[in-house]
Structure 1
Amino acid sequence: MLTQLSIILFVLAALLLLMACVKAQRVRSWRESLNPSAPEVPDAAFVVARIVLIAMAAVCAVMGFRGLGVQDRWKWSDDELKSAVEQATYELDGFLYRVDESGEPVVRIYEYETLVESEVVENGGGDAPQDGVAASAADGNTNADAYFTVSANGADAEFCVHIERVRSKKDDYTPPGLNEGTWTQLGYRLAVTSREGAC
């Protein structure tokens, strides 16, 4: 939508510049053919009209470029997504992951999909958007072994992120004041890899 609006603004700017380039004599003869009794237009009026037309063209061009900039900030490029996925993979590899006795993550935002999406967005850098990333779970995923196809709004590229959950007893945690084994949070470490292409 913003791209089309920017194109319209660029076309309008070009038309305004063309109007500013029309010679005063041509405008006078055209005006006289339409209304022979009309008073003569002074040269100063043409100068002011040219200044106004050029200023309007400049405003249209600036607004068009701004629109393209905003459009760019709303969409991911393939390079931005690739870099973000690579950095997210690095950040998540070895990540401490605790679950309760039922196997559910202790922190709800640590569900795999949310964890991958938020980490990719966080590592977008540059002028990458702060949203628009989706991690789609593959069929047959388990808590111990899961695959996610990561895509982003505007990017054609997709990446496959593989998460393995490895038990780490040394990272178990029991809240103070409780006996071990009662409400113990089980510790795991994530082994994360990624490759280009859908899973």
Structure 2
Amino acid sequence: MLTKLSVILFILSAVLVAMACVKADRVRSWRESLNPSAPDIPDGAFVVARILLIGMAVGGVVSGFQGLAVEDDSKWSDDELTSAVRGATTALDGSFTYGDPLEGDAPADFEGEYAMKVEDEVVEHGGGDAPQFGVDAALTGETTSDEAYYRITASGAGTSFCMHVKRTHEGYIETVAPGLSGDAAVVKEPKYTFAVSSRVGEC
């Protein structure tokens, strides 16, 4: 939308410049043919008109380039998404989390919480010029309690990525509950690590 508006502004600016370049004698001749009794236009009026037309044209060009810049900032490029996915993969690979000791071997929430984590990591590694929105990590293929595949896309980018996430139960970490003593004070929290890889294309 902003690109189309910018193109219109550039065209209008070109028309204004063309109008400013019309010679005064041609304007007088055209005006006289329409209304022979009209008073003559002084040269100063043409100077003021040219300044106004050029000023409006410059304003249109500046606004057009600003619109293109805003349009560019609101979309992901293939290079930006590629770099962001690589950074997110590195950050997520080898990460870990602790589960609820009362739930036992609970499955990872690949559809909700972890999908949002993937999207946030991609956005975070997008760099200063990349948008802070527009990334989608959609589950695809066969998902189990400990393994999932995500199709990662971003608005404006033509490239998609496949991210593979595998969760592994690494054992338990023991903590001591405050206010208790003996065996009852020991709480075992399950520890899970994530192996993450990604590649260009569909899963």
- Relative to the length of structure 2, the TM-score reads 0.89
Question: 2:175, 2:201 → 1: CA distance?
Answer: 41
The within-5 A match list for 1:38-187 is 38-100=38-100, 101=103, 103=106, 111-169=113-171, 172=173, 174=175, 176-177=177-178, 179-181=185-187, 184-187=188-191
Q: What's the secondary structure of 2:9's corresponding residue?
A: helix
Residue identity opposite 1:29 in structure 2: S
Task: For residue 176 of structure 1, report the CA deviation from its aligned partner.
Answer: 3.4
In 2, are the aligned partners of 1:150 and 1:198 still within 8 Å (CA)?
Answer: no
In 1, are the aligned partners of 2:108 and 2:146 still within 8 Å (CA)?
Answer: no
Q: What's the secondary structure of 2:11's corresponding residue?
A: helix
Residue identity opposite 2:60 in structure 1: C
**Alpha-carbon spacing, 1:117–1:175, altered in 2? closer, same or farther (3 Å):** farther
Larger radius of gyration: 2
More strand by share: 2
In 1, are the aligned partners of 2:162 and 2:202 still within 8 Å (CA)?
Answer: yes
User: Percent of counterpart pairs with the same letter?
Assistant: 54
In 1, are the aligned partners of 2:107 and 2:145 still within 8 Å (CA)?
Answer: no
Question: 1:152, 1:33 → 2: CA distance?
Answer: 60
Q: What's the secondary structure of 1:188's corresponding residue?
A: strand
Q: What's the secondary structure of 2:41's corresponding residue?
A: coil
**Alpha-carbon spacing, 1:174–1:140, altered in 2? closer, same or farther (3 Å):** farther
List per-residue Cα deviations over 1:128-185 (Å, max 9, x = no partner): 1100000010132123111100000011100001111122225x3647326334xx54
Q: What's the secondary structure of 1:151's corresponding residue?
A: strand
Question: 1:94, 1:189 → 2: CA distance?
Answer: 6
Residue identity opposite 2:133 in structure 1: D
List 4+ stretches of structure 1 deviating above 4 A.
none
Q: What's the secondary structure of 1:147's corresponding residue?
A: strand
In 2, are the aligned partners of 1:97 and 1:105 still within 8 Å (CA)?
Answer: no
What's the counterpart of residue 195 of structure 1? Answer: 199
Question: 1:48, 1:55 → 2: CA distance?
Answer: 11
Question: 2:176, 2:5 → 1: CA distance?
Answer: 57
Q: How many correspondences in the alignment?
A: 195
List per-residue Cα deviations over 1:88-126 (Å, max 9, x = no partner): 0001111122222262669x9x82211110000011003
- Relative to the length of structure 1, the TM-score reads 0.91
Question: 2:116, 2:148 → 1: CA distance?
Answer: 13
